[in-house]
Structure 1
Amino acid sequence: MSGTLSTVFQNSTLHHSAVGSGFIETFNNLKAVKDLNVLEKLWASYYIWIGNDIFATGLLFFTLHEFMYFGRCLPWYIIDRVPFFRRWKIQDTKLPSDKEQWECLKSVLTSHFLVEAFPIWFFHPLCEHIGISYSVPFPNWFDIFLQISVFFFFEDAWHYWFHRGLHHGVFYKYIHKQHHRYAAPFGLAAEYAHPIEVMLLGFGTVGIPIIWCLLTKNLHLFTICIWITLRLFQAVDAHSGYEFPISLHHFLPFWAGAEHHDEHHHHFIGNYASSFRFWDFVLDTEAGLTAKQSREKKMKSSAEKKAKKQI
């Protein structure tokens, strides 16, 4: 699709009454389109109102990222300041100070504006080139759920292997060490990382949907918006430092969550996956005292079996 999303309506009287109007007036004009739900009308109104799809997509994605990331960090900042919640703090003696939060915030904002902003503002031409749709109506919810599930699975694999690789030698010393500045993580530290790490691990979030579209020719920007929101929430929550009785992994045992990732920051090794636990379980890279005792037990059992065979 070229031009603006208003080309969807370019042969209709509705189009000519919508373009050039304010956002509210544009939305009211689109109420006449009976085949679209409210969310789809808001989406179409936004693109028509902006009138420039490259700018509209860039603004949408940058605003979405900032609003969702900091909006999800804020509750954890408040929780860190309320003594009542201390009972659920995983490393209960290590609370981030205001100075640490402020230093982290400055670094994250610098990364957002100097590292992430540029590719975000040029994402729309890529969408048009590979066929990511941004028109209305949206895909059905089953397709959205299926695609996001696929994205979570493959992002987790990408994150596991490249995160594990970043813990080796010079990669850790010059790149990943920055993220491990905080042995007891907090929500805002989710994207506190070296620019190379931001781009490398971030490709799992953005690149996998791109590869999916190249293979299937079936993807919508709305789906990517939901995916990015969920991925941001997952990353921030994993760094929250809190383990609640209602934490998701109590209901989905394969989900990682804060308890899983906090062990990684505490011990600096193991628990490399982002969303799920199975990579670390299968490849024996789980972190923490329990995992260490389990490995030692397996090693002892294996040694005893070898000794019996030699007798």
Structure 2
Amino acid sequence: MSNFPVSNSTSFFQAYANFNQLDNLNILEKVWGAYYYYINNDLFATGLLIFCLHEFMYFGRSVPWAIIDRVPYFRKYKIQDTKLPSNQEQWECMKSVLTSHFLVEAFPIWFFHPLCERIDIKFQVPFPPVTTVLTQLAIFFVLEDAWHYWLHRGLHYGVFYKYIHKQHHRYAAPFGLTAEYAHPIEVALLGFGTVGIPVIYCYFTRNLHLFTICLWITLRLFQAVDAHSGYEFPWSLHHFLPFWAGADHHDEHHHHFIGSYASSFRWWDYVLDTEAGPKPHKAREDRMKAKAEVNAKKAQ
């Protein structure tokens, strides 16, 4: 990227002017190219991009929920409407998350670019076709959901819950900022589903662009924060996509401390009968009762 054959530039805007001469690039591609050309250090440019993207998208999506928690009008949409996080809880959670971001997640982020080069994750312009990007995003969502289900379910057993996952369950009524409030080991294990799956995908296919990873991280952050928001609206996505999990699905998990382990979709919990909440619990009891009655009749 730094060997782009145009005139020398001393500012980002001059770099953008150089890329703006290329008619085959769209605006996003021109901004992307100008950014890498202006930084003139691919390792630093990728590290700064991923770190800032993560912080901006995570807190940019969390802060609106913190504001909504203080607006009485939205109280009717609160799932656990008697449990609002206090300002102190919001602040303590934010400090913990920031500490994790800077002391746990920042280090591997800054060494992501050498990995990109090693497994051929591309970062040059132009971007791949939209169909390719959408297909890869769908694959990542499905694979991450499976990873999250089984790792999350495993973290609810014995010592794994006591020493690792219990921290995340400090808040029985979750709020947006709690999406990444977790033990460092849990951050690494579940975070592998977000970062490691695209890496493994590219290792075998040699067909992935860093821009797609940025989109994936953005969508995954939005999904995680929204799932912890604690709000259920008439326009919530799962009303239109029944297999989408959403806040109502994950709120039941925090409320009952067990069940509803998946991140984005409902099918793992549905098929394996691990949905949380009163209705699924009653359905399981009814099935067990019916089965017991059938066995009793057979025994007569």
TM-score under structure 1 length normalisation: 0.95
Asked if the contact 2:2–2:41 (Cα under 8 Å) also holds between the matched residues in 1, the reply is: no
Structure 1 gaps, min length 5: none
Asked if the contact 1:241–1:258 (Cα under 8 Å) also holds between the matched residues in 2, the reply is: yes
Deviation at 1:32, TM superposition (A): 1.3
Structure 2 counterpart of 1:131, from 97, 116, 120: 120
Task: Give the structure 1 partner of residue 167 of structure 2.
Answer: 178
Deviation at 1:199, TM superposition (A): 0.3
Deviation at 1:277, TM superposition (A): 0.4
Asked if the contact 1:6–1:44 (Cα under 8 Å) also holds between the matched residues in 2, the reply is: no
Secondary structure (helix, strand or coil) at the match of 1:6 reads coil
Deviation at 1:185, TM superposition (A): 0.1
Task: Give the structure 1 partner of residue 177 of structure 2.
Answer: 188
1:214-225 matches, within 5 Å, as: 214-225=203-214
Secondary structure (helix, strand or coil) at the match of 1:59 reads helix
Structure 2 gaps, min length 5: none
Deviation at 1:310, TM superposition (A): 1.7
Secondary structure (helix, strand or coil) at the match of 1:159 reads helix
Deviation at 1:309, TM superposition (A): 1.7
Task: Give the structure 1 partner of residue 24 of structure 2.
Answer: 35
Aligned mates of 2:179, 2:44 — CA distance in 1: 27
Structure 2 counterpart of 1:143, from 123, 132, 149: 132
Structure 1 counterpart of 2:106, from 97, 117, 120: 117
Aligned mates of 2:151, 2:134 — CA distance in 1: 26
Deviation at 1:21, TM superposition (A): 2.1
Structure 2 counterpart of 1:6, from 2, 16, 20: 2
Which portions of structure 1, spanning 4 or more consecutive aligned residues, are displaced by more than 6 angstroms? none
Aligned mates of 2:248, 2:83 — CA distance in 1: 15
Supply the AA of the counterpart residue of 2:16: F
Structure 2 counterpart of 1:233, from 222, 247, 259: 222
Alignment of 1:261 with 2:250, yes or no, is yes
Supply the AA of the counterpart residue of 1:6: S
**What is the Cα-based RMSD across aligned positions, in Å?**
0.7
Task: Give the structure 1 partner of residue 193 of structure 2.
Answer: 204
Aligned mates of 1:191, 1:21 — CA distance in 2: 38
TM-score under structure 2 length normalisation: 0.99
Aligned mates of 1:164, 1:75 — CA distance in 2: 30
Deviation at 1:47, TM superposition (A): 0.3
Asked if the contact 2:230–2:251 (Cα under 8 Å) also holds between the matched residues in 1, the reply is: yes
The percentage of counterpart residues that share the same residue type is: 72
Asked if the contact 2:144–2:194 (Cα under 8 Å) also holds between the matched residues in 1, the reply is: yes
Supply the AA of the counterpart residue of 1:90: I
Structure 2 counterpart of 1:300, from 273, 289, 293: 289
Aligned mates of 1:309, 1:71 — CA distance in 2: 60
Secondary structure (helix, strand or coil) at the match of 2:68 reads helix
Deviation at 1:6, TM superposition (A): 2.5
**In the comparison of the two structures, how many residue pairs are matched?**
300
